[in-house]
Amino acid sequence: MNTTGIVSRMPLPGPLPSSMQLNEQGRLRHLLTIEGLPRALITEILDTAESFAAMNEQAVKKVPLLRGKTVVNLFFEASTRTRTTFELAAKRLSADVLNINISTSATVKGESLLDTLRNIEAMYVDMFVVRHEASGAAHFIARHVAPHIAVLNAGDGRHAHPTQALLDMFTIRRHKGDFTKLRVAIVGDILHSRVARSQIHALNILNTGEVRVIAPKSLLPACVETLGVHVFHDIREGLKDVDVVIMLRLQRERMEAGLLPSEHEFFQLYGLTEERLALATPDCIVMHPGPANRGVEIDSRVADGPHSVILEQVSYGIAVRMAVMGMIMGGASGGGANA
Amino acid sequence: MTTTEDIAIHDIDGLIDRMAAGLRSLLAERRIDDPVMIGIHSGGVWVAERLHRELGLSQPLGSLDITFYRDDFSRIGLHPQVKPSSLPFAIDDRHIILVDDVLNTGRTVRAALNEIFDFGRPASVVLAVLVDRDGRELPVEAQVTGCFLDLGPDREIKLRGPAPLSLDIVERGGEGGA
């Protein structure tokens, strides 16, 4: 976890995100990270998401579960897909949704963030969906919000993006079923990827047969093996016989930091092409959390090809986010007031 | 102590036969020749499977999980074993037979009707239940019933299944039924 921005200003230590996201009954209270979630709870989220996915057959794609609740999308960092799928998920649960985009200027630091929170809390809201460039931001907010408010991490710095990992698990389970027999390869910029961290935790909690990461040394975090992965620097070796290929977005801003010579060279060495994909199992699936840089990490023919499930991931993202919101709001009020 | 209740609930086949006969005459009276049947998870689906076979309906059986439409979500939260609803036919302008195991407060049927109407606008809905009992809190009545039981506020009846089906009367514990 990095210590830039607000995180360095908050009092440490405190309860870990993994402990404070469950209530006394072991139900979801917040969702901050995949780390430490019990397997049974992840399975329950995926099962509940199946029911929400079936709702797409309804003429009225809406259920009254969160009627009267207010969900605030608190986005300190740009996002289209994640914000819109959270918004749709909340709306299909009949919640009211407020979108607040706060630019992360240098002035937005610890205290003014808390002021922002207090102001929104005063509007009688029930859930914050938080996206922030600083690792630990959602955790920080969860520790400081009023006790009736639930916090859902929609991506914090390099740390975690739990709903993305859950929708990826949902997509894999739909196509492949049993995780224990699977080889899954995550390819690209692991170093900066909160998605990769959350995916690795989720895959290991679900007992995935083998989790591989494929990347140049400069784009791998130190001691990445301790997360429970096999490391490959050669994409041809790494893709051999895998059932699932997860491509990550190459964050172009990293190029300036001198971690990579050029986009072109990255594609030459690590780009997913049809020829390389042929090394994987014949019925492998190709995933990407988006937005994809065509011709940088993935060839258009693969992104649009028969193995690609990239657009399915987007659809499933709504069902999975509905499941998480429903479980949190049910569990949160169920544990508290006796109505 | 043997009562008429005991006799009725130990003859599930007899109750289902009675429901099938009731449905046949109701459908004939209303001149409905191609209805669709929907069971409510889980007990209602078990009863509906039997009725669907006995009536020889042509359309596949539908099933509803009303978890997302319950009125007590904010008190009890999401049921962890929620199942996807499956209505493998268009609802618009169809005559629907809605099947549940026990009709008690009427709240489950209210939720089921709301969910059905989110799929489309049916021509009509009839309600068929294995056991109609006292305890109504909403103006909901079944058109076809296997039997009626007056259990009072302290007793509950539960259908166990799917095979074989059995009905048990139990003293009401901590859990509230719907």
- Give residue limits of the domains in chain B: 4-171
Amino acid (1-letter code) at residue A151 = V
Kindly state the percentage of chain B with pLDDT values over 70.
93
pLDDT exceeds 90 at position A102: no
Distance from CA of B119 to the nearest CA of A (A): 4
pTM of the model: 0.88
Contacts of B67 in chain A (CB under 8 A): 51
- Measured between CB atoms, does A27 come within 8 Å of chain B? yes
Retrieve residue A250's tokens.
């190459």
Q: Which helix (H) or strand (E) holds B170?
A: strand B166-171
CA dist B5 and B81 (Å) reads 31
ipTM: 0.80
Same fold, A3-161+316-338 and A162-314: yes
Predicted pLDDT at A7: 46
Q: What is the pLDDT of residue A252?
A: 74
Q: d(Cα A238, Cα A244) in Å, to the nearest integer?
A: 12
Q: What percent of chain A has pLDDT over 90?
A: 74
pLDDT tens-digit profile of A188-201? 999 999 999 999 99
The terminus-to-terminus CA distance of chain A in angstroms comes to: 40
Lowest mean pLDDT among A59-73, A101-115, A267-281: A101-115
Residues 41-60 of A with CB under 8 A from B: 44, 47-48, 50-55, 57-60
CATH 3.40.50.1370 matches A3-161+316-338: yes
Q: What is the DSSP letter of A185?
A: E
Q: Taking the CB of residue A179, how many other CB atoms lie within 10 A of it?
A: 22
Contacts of B118 in chain A (CB under 8 A): 58-60, 62-63
Superfamily of domain A162-314: Aspartate/ornithine carbamoyltransferase (3.40.50.1370)
What is the Cα–Cα distance from A290 to A298, expressed in whole angstroms?
11
The mean pLDDT of A295-301, rounded to a whole number, is 95
How much is the pLDDT for A104?
55
Of the residues B41, B82, B86, the best mutation for testing chain A's interface (the one with the most A CB atoms within 10 Å of its CB) is B82
Ramachandran angles phi, psi of A212, nearest 5°: -115, 145
A49 closest CA partner among B98, B78, B168: B78
Domain boundaries, chain A: 3-161+316-338, 162-314
CA Rg value for chain B: 16
Summarize the confidence of residues A138-150 as an average pLDDT.
93
Interchain CB distance below 8 Å, A59 and B119? yes
pLDDT band at A283 (very low <50, low <70, confident <90, very high): very high
The pLDDT score that the predictor gives to residue B61 is 98
Q: Which of residues 63-82 of A touch B (CB under 8 A)?
A: 63-65
Q: Write down the pLDDT at residue A335.
A: 37
Question: Using a CB-CB distance cutoff of 8 angstroms, which residues of chain B are in contact with residue A62?
Answer: 118
- B144: which 2 tokens? 């076809």
Mean pLDDT by 10 residues, chain B (178 residues): 68 95 97 96 96 96 94 83 91 97 97 95 98 97 96 94 92 61
Q: CATH assignment of B4-171, given 3.40.605.10, 3.50.50.60, 3.30.460.10, 3.40.50.2020?
A: 3.40.50.2020
CB A272 within 8 A of CB A298: yes
Q: Which residues of B65-82 are buried (b: 16+ CB within 10 A; e: fewer)?
A: bbbbbbeebbebbbbeeb
Q: What is the reported pLDDT for A116?
A: 83
| Alpha-carbon distances, residue A92 vs A31, A63, A319 (angstroms) | 19, 6, 10
